[in-house]
Each structure stands twice: as structure tokens, then as C-alpha cells.
Amino acid sequence: MKKLLLICFILLFTYSCKETNSQQNDSATKEANSFSIVIHGGAGGIKREYFTKEQEEAYSKKLEEALNAGYAVLEKGGISLDAVQAAINVMENSPLFNAGKGAVYNSDGNQEMDAAIMDGKTLNSGAIAGVNHIKNPILAARIVMDSSKHVLLSGKGAEIMAAKYGIEMVDSTYFFTEKRMNQLRKLQGKEKTQLDHTAFLIKNELIDDHKFGTVGAVAMDKSGNIAAGTSTGGMTNKKYGRIGDVPLIGAGTYANNLTCGISATGTGEYFIRTVASHEVSSLIQYKGFSPKEALNEVLFNQIGPLGGEGGMILIDKNGDVYWDFNSTGMFRGYKKSNGETKVEMFEKTK
């Protein structure tokens, strides 16, 4: 009897040790993936043959710079909101993307920029729309979230508040780029009012530029809090104060610690009609979809059949990174605290 009890004790002790080791391993794995960031620089007719080697390298380097800027904030223990803001700032300051410095022209020959940011812990959010003189629109969106009772401010009102809180304002000449002006002239020269079939030349090839360039970032910090942000210049030759999906919380931007954070890019009208970002979150929360399944459902079964095109990036509540797009390509990249990093531009690799 004593021998039997001894054997049982040994078996119980062995099993307990294995369980402890397993829990420790799980904990170590979770710790290794304790923070992450994913970014996009727009989606659309992005094909390798449309880009010179120099152009491809320029985009890759700028995406890496944006990733590193956001990752540095997280690595030092900073919050996800600051990481998202830092990554987007880099892309807003580059003429390569349709945001900030590289924002496209509207039909009047001016920029009208939109941006939004959201805190997945509190669901606090801030957005601006139709601004002309704010150097970094994402900073103004953050001010709206942190320093007002409102969610979305537009036009002159947004600029007044941004200036009040010390956000850098610039003359409209700051946003001038020859490439963007040439795009506008080509469109207006063809007397087109819709952009779905317009294009410009890169390396003597046609590419749908109006469908990419919007920038965005999603991050999870060491505390497990998620944030998402997006910034855009909208659509080339857009009319009458048009506002897209980016500053509309739940359409182009959304974050909720219970599910995920999302930033979208593409033909905004269709992301608005499907409330795309919130729809992805709801499918995960209420239908039990995986993030991959939810992205696929919204992009290919809801937005696609309506005629919409674009992509979305996502970080879920576990810190795992996902993306998907129904366009040819999407500028994208991620960096995780376990050392895993990736930057891609063209067709899907997995």
C-alpha cells in the first residue's frame, strides 16, 4: 500500500512539474510577443513591373523607417497611441505617400487631408477632416481625442484647435509635389469626374494611383493596449469637400482591446458603406471569426461585390499581426518584439 501511494505521489509530482514547465514556456512565448506594430502605405494597382528598382527601394526604406519609429516607442515602454503616431508621422513627412507632404490635390488644386486615431482601451478617438494647413494631420487628430469632448472636427475649426495646441501649421506650398500636380492635370485634362479608371505613368506603365497612398498603423504596447491610426489626402480631383472613410471611426479606423485594432486603405466610399473596420471587429467578437476570416469576409464578400478595392491591417488582442487586400498590392510591414519583421509591397506571399 505504501509503495502504491509512493508511486502515485511520484506520478503526481512529475505531472505537476510538467504543467509548471508548460506554463512557464507559454508565459515566455507570450512575453516574447508582448508588443508589435503593423503599418500600411496604401493599397491599389501596385505591381512590381510598375516600379524601378530605385523606387522600390525608396518605398521599402521609408516603410522600414516608419516601423522602426513606432517600434522604438514600444520597446522603451511607451504607449501604443504614441507608437502609432510616430510611425504615421514618418510617412506623413514623405512625398511618397498620399498623406501630409505627399497629399493629392482636390479639383480646386488644394489639399484636403483627413486623419483619425483611436485608443482600444477606452474607445476614445479623435479625427479631423478637410484640413489644408496642418503639417501632420495625425497630431491634430490626437489633440481632438485628448483635449476636446468631440470625436471629429473639420476644416477651419480643426485648424483653429490644432494651432491653439501648438500643432505645426504650414503654407499650402509645403504640400506641393510635381508628381501630384501632374496627376491632377492629367485627370482634369481628360475631363473625368470619377477616378475609378484613371491612371498615371510609372516606368511607362499604367498604375491606379488614386487607390493607394493612404497611411496607417496599428500597435499593441507592453500593457496589451491596442491603438490604431490612419492619415490620408483622399482622392485626386475629389469634389465639393468630399470626406472618405479615414476620419469616420468604425469605417477606416477602429480599435478595441476586446478584439483588435484596424487601419484601412482603398476606395473609401465602400469602406463607409460597410462600416468595414467595425464590421471586422464585430465578426471576431460576436461571430467567433478568426481575424483572417473576418478580414476576408469584409474585403471579398462585402466590399468587393460593391466595386470597392483596398486593404486592411490588424493586430488582435493577442498581439498577432494580420493583413489582407483585394487589390493587386499593398505597401505594408510589421515588427514584433520576438524579432520577427517584414516589409512587403506587391502580391501576397502567403
Catalytic residue ranges? 214
Cell of 298: 469584409
Cβ-in-10-Å burial (0-12, 13-18, 19+) of 164 comes to exposed
Cell of 170: 504650414
Bridge partner residues of 131 (DSSP): 113
Neighbours of 161 (CB within 10 A): 18
Cell of 74: 514600444
Cell of 50: 510598375
Element (H, E) at 146: helix 137-147
Cell of 301: 464578400
Cell of 248: 469616420
- Of the candidates 115, 63, 111, 103, which has an alpha carbon nearest to the alpha carbon of residue 263? 115
Give the DSSP letter of residue 104. P
Q: Which amino acid is at 317?
A: K
Cell of 52: 524601378
CA dihedral 38, 42, 45, 50 (to 10 degrees): -90
Bridge partner residues of 193 (DSSP): none
Cell of 150: 468631440
Q: Which positions ≥6 away from 241 have C-beta within 8 Å?
A: 112, 130, 155
Terminus-to-terminus CA distance in the chain, angstroms? 59
Q: Which amino acid is at 62?
A: K
Neighbours of 121 (CB within 10 A): 17
- Of the candidates 59, 29, 93, 120, which has an alpha carbon nearest to the alpha carbon of residue 340? 29
Q: Which amino acid is at 198?
A: T
